[in-house]
Amino acid sequence: MRSRKTAQADGVGSAWPDGELQRLPVGTLQLDSGAKLPDVVLGYETWGALNEDASNAVLVLHALTGSTHVSRGSSHEDGWWEPLVGPGRAIDTDEMFVVAPNIVGGCYGTTGPSSPAPDGAPWGSRFPFVTLRDSVTAEAQLADALGIGQWHTVVGGSMGGARALEWAAMFPDRVQRCICIAACVASTAEQIAFAQAQLLAIRQDPDFAGGDYYDGVSPAAGLGLARRIAHITYRSEPDLGARFGRLPQGSEEPLAHDDGERGRYQVESYLDYQAGKLAGRFDANSYIALTEALTSHDLTRGRGSIAEIFTGTGIEFVIAAVSSDRLYFPAESERLVKELPPDVSVRFEMIDSPFGHDAFLIEAGQLADIVR
């Protein structure tokens, strides 16, 4: 293996520091829907160095509101998979060249609704419908630009897991291993239902202004409500019960209504915090675009069965589920395992956790065992 310095000098992001945003223009994107999205830029970060035969590249795909910032690298901010990705960690950036692109439609460096359209104004309500497949199309151009013919591993959790499956289906020759954590073959009716509630929460915020709010106030209340709904589904009843129960928040009195509004329970304060945190860092139109992209997710659409899609590909699959996941039920992951063709390698892993879906971000030890 060549040294990091030498290897990076060959690549697009040569000499670029680990864990800092880079941007690759990929031109006009032919969308899954038939429409075209012009002037697309892909935001991404990298860690480590590509080796001589380009055999050590790992693609890490983020979830719905995730970003390119998987690990600290040379930045000052921890990444969303910090315990898993870095020097000496399960995804060892001393050994592997790790790439994390922001999804098309997002707001972390890649073209999305808040990006300028050709007329210079933000896309806003004019941003076209995108699917997870559109992002894979763009990410393949990023792989080309980085000199990566085949990924050693494509890995992600939740929507990132769905993106990993899409990579495997669209470019089976370019995916050696596919690790899909807490995701499923197709968004379920219940996921669509919860998504609808979240989209309405945003769209019914008067500040949303039909999606063209960039010269006004952001629809923080609507986005915050969407996040609250989502966050409950990311956790589990036992988790919330054990952490908060019926306790009041600080000195607030949930049974006192003297001034009209009552005091809060701890769990309400916790969700207020989660809501505010997301509203402060995420674009509401991106939330809508990506939620609709995820809702559209159906690996089999236009392709036939799971067995038909993957027969003869030789991809090594690792499918992991979370025992307490009440949004991406383990049964869905097990169904995928059963439907994969007999000629591909597949390993099923159950993450034993009380935290629900979010265990894919939390259970560092078990995740490390899975991806190592």
Q: Which positions touch a copy of itself (CB under 8 A)?
A: 33, 125, 128-129, 131, 186-190, 192-194, 196-197, 200-201, 204-206, 221-222, 225, 228-229, 232, 235-237, 240-241, 243-246, 254-257, 260, 262, 265-268, 271, 292, 295-296, 298, 326, 329
CB of residue 31 vs a copy of itself: minimum separation in angstroms? 10
Closer Cβ to a copy of itself, 75 or 249, answer by number: 249
Q: Report, in Å, the least distance between residue 39 CB and a copy of itself.
A: 20
CA distance 140 to 150: 10
74 is catalytic: no
Which one of the listed residues 62, 152, 231, 357 is annotated catalytic? 357
Other C-beta atoms closer than 10 Å to the C-beta of 208 total: 23
Of 205 and 358, which CB lies nearer to a copy of itself in the complex structure? 205
Beta partners for 45? 100
Q: Decide if 241 contacts 354 (C-beta within 8 A).
A: no
3-state secondary structure of 165: helix
> Which two structure tokens, joined as six digits, stand for 56?
């050590």
Angle at CA of residue 166, ends 165 and 168, nearest 5°: 65
Q: How far is the CB of 220 from a copy of itself (least distance, A)?
A: 11
Question: Please, is 206 exposed, middle or buried when counting C-beta atoms within 10 Å of its C-beta (0-12, 13-18, 19+)?
Answer: exposed
Q: How far is the CB of 326 from a copy of itself (least distance, A)?
A: 7
Q: How far is the CB of 325 from a copy of itself (least distance, A)?
A: 11
**Cα 316 to the center of its chain, rounded Å:** 21
Catalytic residue (choose from 114, 115, 135, 158): 158
Q: Of 32, 134, 205, 325, which residue is the catalytic one?
A: 325
Residues 6+ apart with CB under 8 A from 109: 21, 23, 41, 42, 43, 44, 67, 68, 102
- Whether 158 is a known active-site residue: answer yes
Q: Which of 194, 310 has the CB closer to a copy of itself?
A: 194
Q: Which two tokens stand for residue 305?
A: 């069965």
> Known catalytic residue: 297?
no
CB nearer a copy of itself, residue 88 or residue 302: 302
Q: Residue 81 or 355: which CB sits closer to a copy of itself?
A: 355
8 A C-beta contact, residue 46 and residue 7: no
- Write out the catalytic residue numbers: 158, 325, 357
